[in-house]
Amino acid sequence: MRWTPGGVSGDIEDRRGQGGIRLGGIGGRGLGIGGTLLLLVLSFVFKQDFFALLTPSENGSYADRSAPDPRSAGEETQVQFVSFVLDDAQRTWDKLLPESGIPYRHATLVLFRDVTQSSCGAAESATGPFYCPGDEKVYIDLGFFDELKNRFGAPGEFAQAYVIAHELGHHIQKVLGIERKVRGLQRSNPGSRNDLSVRMELQADCLAGVWGHSTVQRKIIDGNDVEAGLRAAAAVGDDRMQKMATGRVSPESFTHGSSTQRASWFRRGLESGAVSSCNTFQ
């Protein structure tokens, strides 16, 4: 995949230096008298201000200030790659959506380690990347890309780019009003929840492919990159994930679609380059 490092995107919110501790606190922080006394004793014994751990960060969470900052020179290259993909994809949607008469608004991508907070609740590395429509942010722990390569067998930069583009696909659904309509249908007909969820995920795969189509046109990716993206889509299919976790497959419990479905819809977007080709609800 051809890309040029160009700094960190203005649409990235970097929380990697913040820990996941939520100790509560005094005066609205939720720390009781017993906890206050404990911190006083620890501060006295160890000659360290343990109350500093309760200082809220800008986003309202409480950082674990004893934890080392995980940002390294090697990881910063990966951050620049994520920035490139994010900016390139959003520039593509800046152009494509207005052509359909709908203005595009940028999503924010949050980088974190282990755990952070979103409008949809706690974001944990164990849950993998996700999009929260409540705050219009994509949440990614960079460690997931190691899992994508080592655990799921989907190496390559375009495999990583597919993950980012898929989550942005959910943002497109929010901008287009599809997400709101589907959530309404799920509430009114709980029995259709899983089926509608699968259709949402497959559409996000197709929308990721629409961006991928533009990168082919601009010669940013080649055939090998396309295969890497298809492998990544197939790697996170429900059937494969269930087989890895339990040794069996239960199609009735699918929420994202099978490996074949995911790769097929991603390829459809790649080949068409058109949002209109991504109607998974028909």
Residues contacting 16, CB < 8 A, separation 6+: 69, 70, 71, 111, 112, 113, 142
Phi, psi at residue 121, to the nearest 5°? 110, -165
Amino acid 62: pLDDT: 43
Cα gap 46→50, rounded to integer Å: 9
Amino acid 100: pLDDT: 80
The domain ranges of the chain are 22-67, 73-278
Amino acid 168: pLDDT: 98
Amino acid 126: pLDDT: 87
Q: Tell me the CA distances in angstroms from 247 to 148, 151, 242, 244, 256, one per residue in order.
A: 19, 16, 7, 6, 18
Amino acid 19: pLDDT: 57
- On whether the pTM is more than 0.85, the answer is no
Residues contacting 233, CB < 8 A, separation 6+: 162, 166, 205, 259, 262, 263, 265, 266
Q: Are 196 and 203 in contact (CB under 8 A)?
A: no
Residues contacting 247, CB < 8 A, separation 6+: none
Amino acid 17: pLDDT: 84
Nearest to residue 233, comparing CAs of 263, 198, 203, 190? 263
Residue stretches of the chain with pLDDT short of 70:
19-74
Residue 270, classified by CB atoms within 10 Å of its CB into exposed (0-12), middle (13-18) or buried (19+), is buried
Amino acid 68: pLDDT: 44
Q: Tell me the CA distances in angstroms from 41 to 32, 36, 67, 221, one per residue in order.
A: 14, 9, 21, 59
Please report, for the chain, how many H helices and E strands are present, in that order. Answer: 9, 6
Q: Are 166 and 208 in contact (CB under 8 A)?
A: yes
